[in-house]
Structure 1
Amino acid sequence: MTSAAPSSAAPSRLSLYLNLVRWDRPAGTYLLLWPTLAALWMAADGWPGWHLLLVFGLGTLLMRSAGCAVNDVADREFDKHVKRTAQRPVTSGQITVKQALGLGAVLTLVAFALVLTTNAPTILLSVAALAVTILYPFTKRWVSMPQAVLGVAFSFGIPMAFSATLGGREWGLQAIHAAVPLAAWGLLVANLFWVLAYDTEYAMVDRDDDIRIGIKTSALTLGRFDVIGVMTFYGVFLALWTGLGLRLGMGHWFLAGMAIAAAQVVWHYMLIKDRTREGCFKAFRENHWVGFAVFAGTVVDLTLR
């Protein structure tokens, strides 16, 4: 008589690594991708070419994946106390810290190899972007709004898109200054407020767990003003991005994209106003459509100009 087969097979090594980098949850990649590509189209004043599209498209995917690996290592002691994250591969012990960091390092090196095909200012900016990405997971211990640090990390693709399009071979801060206009840094600030909005929604989901385990989030810092805070962040993002886009020569189709994004923000208010876990998580998860509206409006505007 043969023994009965186990009810469920252990996950394969590949599936664990894919889970580590959130392969089955691409929304985070889209949140990085859409503002970066919108900036790339603005910098190029239209189609940026296949080379830069590949660099920033694939580079965004790789760096988001590497960031997830680093984040899970940094948060492994916290995640075991949160039901939603307790089964992440590093937290559950299915992948070791060394293996997770090794995968993150490999993904980062591949992304850096892509950046090396651009120019000197972009390479310099990528080093700064990497430093912020590594720093972010640890700021939850001592920064009252670590989402602001995440906002910088998630927005660095914007000045990099401008430097890759407009920069030359010179190295140094002067080269970065020449390649990245002031408006591009303004777009970074605008996007930072969008990140503050959607990641505060995300933090509202885990508010009770975060209080219990003692980490800092914008949702806890804002307290009973969390919904007002989220909507203020959205408002600043929409106002700044619209104004800077017009300064960079965008037109009616761009404004139409921003209007669609604003309409979605109103819907997000309806989702989060009662502070339910389901509503807040849905608002966070659907945020990539806000970014897509901004990107699509930008592309259509520059194409039909």
Structure 2
Amino acid sequence: MKALLSKSPGGPETLVLEDVPSPEPGDTDVVLDVKAVGVNYPDVLMIQDMYQFKPERPFSPGGEISGTIKAVGKDVTKYKVGDRVVGSIGWGGMAEEAVVDQARVRPFPESMSYEEAAALLMTYGTSYYALKDRGNCKPGESLLVLGAAGGVGLAAVELGKAMGMEVIAAASSQEKVDLAMEKGAAKGFVYDRGPLDRDQQKTLSNKIKELGGGGVDVIYDGVGGDYAEPALRAMNWDGRFLVIGFPAGIPKMPLNLTLLKSCNIVGVFWGAAVARDPEANEANIKELFEMYEAGKIKPHVSNTYPLSEGAAAISELMNRKAKGKVVVTV
């Protein structure tokens, strides 16, 4: 079978497509004929050795996959050959076949395509965990989404709307803001591309306050960098600042602002949360599938690439050009 491999640390240009042996299932594993692979920001970091987890090389990027089961281990009881499943596997997805423990795959709705299934778990799982479990979001609250047209950002927009919140979408172009508005944001604005000077940061903070009627209750920050502090300055009393990721750099926050506003800065690490409390995650995924079938959420796949062009898919995400989700098809 063919697999896209990271053999040394570096950017997408270091990835190579090679023939490798087909995997054999362990006792509790299933082997998937991979149909689609969701591309996520951890893929960008992992191939550069910049992520929390560092797989042994060579490895294939791609942490969420959908496909059909080709083979099962002798102790697999939940699935059979031919079942359609989606899996969250960390890495190893950008290949024609992938081996996964049965505990890490699940069936998905018949109405959902392979591409949509591969675009749902990590982005919507992260954003739902952020808003529901870490942000304790409530109907009627205001939600600012920074980076509102990316994979997790667009999911946060949809989920915020589904949860009864007033969503303000912020992104780097009008085209991206328009997409977020189509997905449920009540208001939106374009922010300057960083780095931001102090005047630009003040303008950003004032714009958030203006659209939020004085401030916002919850901030979903998938951008970081120079955008984080001005957003925090626009937070309401008892607000929650959700730390999602740092494509614009890791910010340094003045903690006196948390005292003055009696607000919380809350970390969101969905992958670790899944490992620590798999039952809670299963309940969340079940609710996400129900929202999909009710028409409240729908993964936006903005671009697809064949496996041979998987490096270009990762580059699109790394260069912050993606709108919604980028998917590699196999």
TM tier, shorter chain? under 0.3
Superposition TM-score, scaled by structure 2 size: 0.24
Higher helix share: 1
Q: What is the TM-score with the length of structure 1 in the denominator?
A: 0.26
* Higher RCO (CA < 8 A, seq sep 6+): 1
The structure with the greater share of residues assigned to strand is 2
